[in-house]
A and B are shown apart, each in its own frame.
Chain A
């Protein structure tokens, strides 16, 4: 009896395996190889007929090959496309001459969100773009900030962003087609008398033009950035630099950061802390621009960009789309609202201890929350419970930036008996 039962069981298993195999093989073959007549598609999607005939139609769409991208029956993806959009597009668009494989990637390209810029069926614009030239770029990139300024770079005015930038990947920062200085000198000669005079005859040919000029727009002529360092504005170059006639004219007077602390003496003490951002040489310019800047405190870029250039874990947190809940300061890119950028005697460069740092804004919450502080011990680590024990302010997929789901996982991390 037992033997019969076992044989039935084996036979059933064999049949189940064979059936599953058959179904999957036939299904995949059918899905991949199926060529459905476009006429069948157009019966239900008649509005596409006109689009198909348009000049700017996508080649397979024009050739009535709907099933080259869509599965007519089922799909795991929206609009019954056969694969994830990024993979689907790259099946044909492999990127000539390594155009897709360079060091820096445009974030929609990296995320595989091709449809953020391109239309899949047809477009009035070249390359199936959603909009023409700068209009498309300005849908994401600071349109107001750029176009409201009095002085604009010519290609910006004409909406020709691709004069300087690559749309997919680039070997250079900020998706530039060439290196920062080469990008400018390909149009702007700095060998002319006027250019030399405007730079006080300092040999700036190898310097980054964008350390003083905004490449898009500015309220100041010559596209000089919004705030200028006082000696720079007054053209007192020799306050920091050697004389233009010296052997090393671009060299600075004084050793290392001493050139900066000569005028900013209190900053020296900011770095006499347990945790600091002390670096090599004139390390102030790791974060600040010594000439001109569009940011507060002469920062050389937006805070998030400066901080995440080293703190890549934070960059990943910020980029992770699953992290829906972030602290408002994080979303606004104001790292220095919670962290002291020069130095601190507290963990993670907080201005005070972990609870105190949060209590500066969340006064009420600190007074009635779950026990925190010196007498509240985390049973997992035996350390003190603070705000960051439960919250991950850099980003979390759970409400209130909690580290775990408060409906099921959070409390039982410590309260095991429930």
Chain B
């Protein structure tokens, strides 16, 4: 009898407890599904960004190589794809405002396309009002609750803010950061800027005053190696994708480490050079798993 119990304990330890702990130290965060190539989507090329549209319950994914945006429903079933009448050249990151208009970053053109499907209009955002220091290379974007658009300008280490009418409003300089790579805004309007090379997150109020900086580079579980993207859950949890650790690290608003999940791998639930993260109000986490050419969904 005792031998049986011992065997059961051993089995649980080696085959269930240890792998589960290693893969998902994040309590309660489980891999839900993955969006991969199939007969409907066809080949997936280099994946750029994802955006979850809460108003329409749609997940949008940019397929940079194939010059298209793919739409999926809330069950991650393919709905449709579009290329803005052939206007997309190399779409990377995208957001959609409450009016249903898209903003798509086009790095090869050096602009952000404003796409109004109803009006059938596609035009680049006007950067002429932006004080220039270096040539603008627009990167990742986000929207706040009032539809203000925030754009990462890597070459000038700043965040450009446009009002809902697409007029340049102001800029936030990320002075002490190094390698500005992503921006997100929380429900209070605070701006979170991710510094990849410096391995930190700078938090600003809506006027651009630095409130706090947290995170550092290192080998500990709460430290960054090469953080590339961040997302903020409405409840205040900040998720950061670390491309070289192949993990997602989570922090609270005070910058205190909470948990991490996933690890390097090819199978479902693992990540291989992830490049972007997005979280919806329901708490679903969408990760562009670039090395595996898929979108991994966690909950």
Q: Which residues of A contact B (CB under 8 A)?
A: 255-258, 268, 271-274, 276, 278-281, 283, 310-313, 345-348, 374, 377-378, 380-384, 389, 413
B107 touches A274 (CB 8 A): yes
B155 touches A313 (CB 8 A): no
Interface presence of B5 (CB below 8 A): no
B side interface size, CB within 8 A: 42
Collect the chain B residues with CB atoms within 8 Å of residue A256's CB: 133-135, 155-156
**Known contacts being A257-B135, A272-B108, is A381 close to B294, with CB within 8 Å?**
yes
Q: In the bound complex, do residue B293 and residue A381 qualify as a contact, i.e. CB atoms below 8 Å apart?
A: yes
Given that A279-B179, A312-B244 are known contacts, is A383 also in contact with B64, CB under 8 Å in the complex?
Answer: no
Residues of B within 8 A of A389 (CB): 266
The contact of B134 among A257, A312, A345, by CB within 8 Å, is A257
For A272, give its contact among B44, B107, B267 (CB under 8 Å).
B107
Q: How far is the CA of A249 from the CA of B5 in the complex (A)?
A: 79
Beyond known contacts A258-B134, A271-B137, A279-B155: 6 more, CB 8 A cutoff:
A257-B135, A278-B137, A280-B155, A310-B179, A312-B225, A347-B291
Question: Nearest-CB distance from B266 to chain A (Å)?
Answer: 4
Kindly supply a per-residue 1/0 record for chain B positions 238-277, scoring 1 wherever the CB is within 8 Å of any chain A CB and 0 otherwise.
Answer: 0000001000000000000000000001110000110000
Residues of B within 8 A of A (CB): 34, 36-37, 43-44, 46, 48, 64-65, 90, 92, 107-110, 132-135, 137, 154-157, 179-180, 197, 217, 225-226, 244, 265-267, 272-273, 289-294
29 of the cross-chain contacts (CB-CB < 8 Å) are A255-B132, A255-B134, A256-B135, A256-B156, A257-B134, A258-B134, A268-B135, A272-B108, A272-B109, A273-B108, A274-B108, A276-B137, A278-B154, A278-B155, A279-B155, A280-B154, A310-B197, A310-B226, A313-B225, A345-B64, A347-B46, A347-B273, A347-B291, A378-B266, A381-B267, A381-B293, A382-B294, A383-B44, A389-B266
Chain A residues with CB below 8 A from B293, complex form: 381-384
Name A382's contact: one of B37, B64, B92, B155 (CB within 8 Å).
B37
Neighbouring A residues of B132 by C-beta, 8 Å? 255
Q: A274-B108, A281-B134 are in contact. Are A381 and B226 (CB under 8 A)?
A: no
- Chain A residues contacting B225 (CB-CB under 8 Å) are 312-313
**Inter-chain contacts of A381 with B (CB < 8 A):** 36, 266-267, 272, 289, 292-294
Known: A258-B134, A279-B179. A346 touches B46 (CB 8 A): yes
Contact A380:B135 (CB < 8 A) given known A274-B108, A278-B154, A347-B290: no
- The 3 lowest CB-CB distance pairs between A and B, nearest first, are A256-B134, A382-B36, A383-B293
CA separation between A313 and B65, bound complex, in Å?
26
A150 to B273, CA, bound (A): 47
- Report the Cα distance A271→B136, complex, angstroms: 11
The 8 Å CB contact of A380, one of B48, B65, B267, B290, is B267
A280 to B217, CA, bound (A): 20
